[in-house]
Structure 1
């Protein structure tokens, strides 16, 4: 293996096209070598020099491929990841890692058997707003956190005929957005003692979860995770309330919109969030309010860590244990909602 990894991207739908392909193509030490897709024309419009294959097994069997990135519908994540690992490829799986905890354990077992690196794409650890709130918490600016609110709301009143909004395993907002919110919460606070979740279908014609609210219970503090499809005006992203003060942030990290618009990762201004957050702290008995500029975000850091793990033996950016913890919370949240009760972890 030389110092450039050949990457095979499996799937060229929204996630493969908008997120993975541009990040890989603009990552030193990685080469977008192959895309597995049934629409070669679509791929070649963006990446004319890339090889396109129709069958993922052909990519897995190719010894020239170092890393396989699985960006396909959620219910296919586990079988594709296991097949790629069995052929000796390192693997990145887009979130959610799998549809069930049992599948996640099977994928991890195959990675151990094959002796290959395995990670799940939790890119929103490198969101500008999350990096900022994490810095404030780590520096003790808010004191001991008592309430933490994480929202990812949208206004999408029309149900679209696509697998993400269907009855297919892994469909709906619970699998689409909660992996991000749970992973961020666990990065900040570790595993909770229990979860209480409410999952619903609110839109006319909805076939999958399009609303959720979950509370993670810790010994003293509470974490609230929320997403809705009929929220036109809120814009709240984070609210962290501690014994010394609060931090509130509205608006989303700009990287997804930049990628959707064809922006190039790493170009000037990349990852810079134009919307500051508001910090309110107790300064010796006087409440001080100030704006806080966000730490720049950069999703490329995920792939930089993955590259270094493969080439130099460093840690993968998201470990198997971390992936299992997220899946455990996801699965118990579904159980909590179905049984209308808090479920212990």
Structure 2
């Protein structure tokens, strides 16, 4: 085995066969289209017991097979090469565990688990079985995030002092469902939903967290889970990240505001890829995939405001969600590391757990030193304060 579950020397074989567990928002909008657009992968089976979702999937993927339960996959594990778990959060750990025990590599939608300890247990199981285990953190391939990484690598901001990241929406009426459930077993609320994205991005950019403070509120009438959340992270290198996740924002702030010793970068607007996928657009046939108009470019400068025409416009790099599954395919074929590791997911869950405790108890929470040694990438020297 190569440490992924795929035998060496399989590069010339037929496409890897993927089973997708769940065909709700995550499965239908993100995973199925991206899997289908990836050279070397084929969507073989979808797990759903919902007849309406089966009809929806069959329209776009007429050759796909259906089963009603993940348990039906394990009896034919030798016919599959990868399991993708896009079912509700509370099912991630049990289904991933069953898949790994069946000898199958696994991709799990974020969050990998409800706790860091569960994430570490899954990582240990995958390592013991020599199987790939990765987490779908697609926001690492957002257009603004890729652009900010490029600016940091070039030292354009100098030493970064503060990173502000907002994932804000205006949804005054709760939609209901498990994502907004107040039942802790559902792992709902924005802290673990959008918070998973903003925390992961902060750790990738600026390294391990050593201290966390958070506020998590339930603002909307009838809401059960947090819908307006703020997380403050102090990183080991001294950078401070201020992260916002909200469904109650009547006026949206900048997606990124990054302040350094030399300059700052301000960027408004969300990456266009999710909206494109929701509209039925597909990366394999859209030559302008991930691109945004010049009017949405961020601005780089010092002592001025982009709202008054200050700063230098920075062309936004195209977003590239397809890069995630392309990297998964390479990892399966060649035995290389996956694009997002379970250890990185555990590091983010350490922060989310600390944030939940901070918000509940009104305290600042220290992250144990041993927890900061896990696998978030180290930022460039100039990006470190």
TM-score band by shorter chain is: over 0.9
- TM-score normalized with structure 1 length: 0.96
Counterpart Cα distance in 1 of 2:39 and 2:59: 22
The answer to whether the aligner puts 1:30 opposite 2:30 as a matched pair is no
Q: Is the contact between residue 3 and residue 311 of structure 1 (CA under 8 Å) also seen in structure 2?
A: no
Shift of 1:127: 0.3
Q: Is the contact between residue 123 and residue 343 of structure 2 (CA under 8 Å) also seen in structure 1?
A: no
Query: Alpha-carbon deviations, 1:284-320, whole Å to 9, x = none?
Result: xxxx721111011111111011101111112100112
Query: Alpha-carbon deviations, 1:132-169, whole Å to 9, x = none?
Result: 11111121101101111000000000011211011233
The answer to whether the aligner puts 1:54 opposite 2:68 as a matched pair is yes
Counterpart Cα distance in 2 of 1:277 and 1:60: 48
Alignment of 1:62-211 (within 5 A): 62=76, 63-168=78-183, 169-211=186-228
What is aligned with 1:6? 17
Counterpart Cα distance in 1 of 2:281 and 2:212: 38
Counterpart Cα distance in 2 of 1:80 and 1:225: 30
Range moving further from structure 2, 116-125 or 261-270: 261-270
Correspondence for 2:333 among 311, 330, 339: 311
Shift of 1:60: 2.9
Q: Is the contact between residue 43 and residue 52 of structure 1 (CA under 8 Å) also seen in structure 2?
A: no
Query: Alpha-carbon deviations, 1:207-255, whole Å to 9, x = none?
Result: 0010110110135331100011111222410000000011000000000
- Alpha-carbon RMSD: 1.5
Counterpart Cα distance in 1 of 2:173 and 2:94: 32
Counterpart Cα distance in 2 of 1:328 and 1:156: 28
- Where in structure 2 are there 5+ consecutive unaligned residues? 1-9, 304-309, 368-385
Higher relative contact order (CA 8 A, sep 6+): 2
Q: Is the contact between residue 216 and residue 226 of structure 2 (CA under 8 Å) also seen in structure 1?
A: yes
What is aligned with 1:285? none
Query: Alpha-carbon deviations, 1:50-88, whole Å to 9, x = none?
Result: 001101111233211100000010010000000001001
- TM-score normalized with structure 2 length: 0.86
Write out the 4+ residue segments of structure 1 that deviate beyond 3 Å after TM superposition: none
The answer to whether the aligner puts 1:329 opposite 2:351 as a matched pair is yes
Counterpart Cα distance in 1 of 2:261 and 2:247: 32
- Where in structure 1 are there 5+ consecutive unaligned residues? 283-287
Shift of 1:7: 0.2
- Point out the structure with the larger strand share: 1
Counterpart Cα distance in 2 of 1:221 and 1:124: 21
Range moving further from structure 2, 210-219 or 113-122: 210-219
3-state SS of paired residue (1:97) = coil
Q: Is the contact between residue 206 and residue 239 of structure 2 (CA under 8 Å) also seen in structure 1?
A: no
What is aligned with 2:240? 222
Q: Is the contact between residue 119 and residue 343 of structure 2 (CA under 8 Å) also seen in structure 1?
A: no
The answer to whether the aligner puts 1:279 opposite 2:293 as a matched pair is no
Counterpart Cα distance in 2 of 1:281 and 1:340: 35
3-state SS of paired residue (1:167) = coil
> What is the aligned length?
341
Q: Is the contact between residue 117 and residue 346 of structure 2 (CA under 8 Å) also seen in structure 1?
A: no
The answer to whether the aligner puts 1:342 opposite 2:364 as a matched pair is yes
Q: Is the contact between residue 142 and residue 281 of structure 1 (CA under 8 Å) also seen in structure 2?
A: no
Shift of 1:190: 0.6
What is aligned with 1:234? 252
Counterpart Cα distance in 2 of 1:235 and 1:193: 27
Counterpart Cα distance in 2 of 1:54 and 1:220: 49
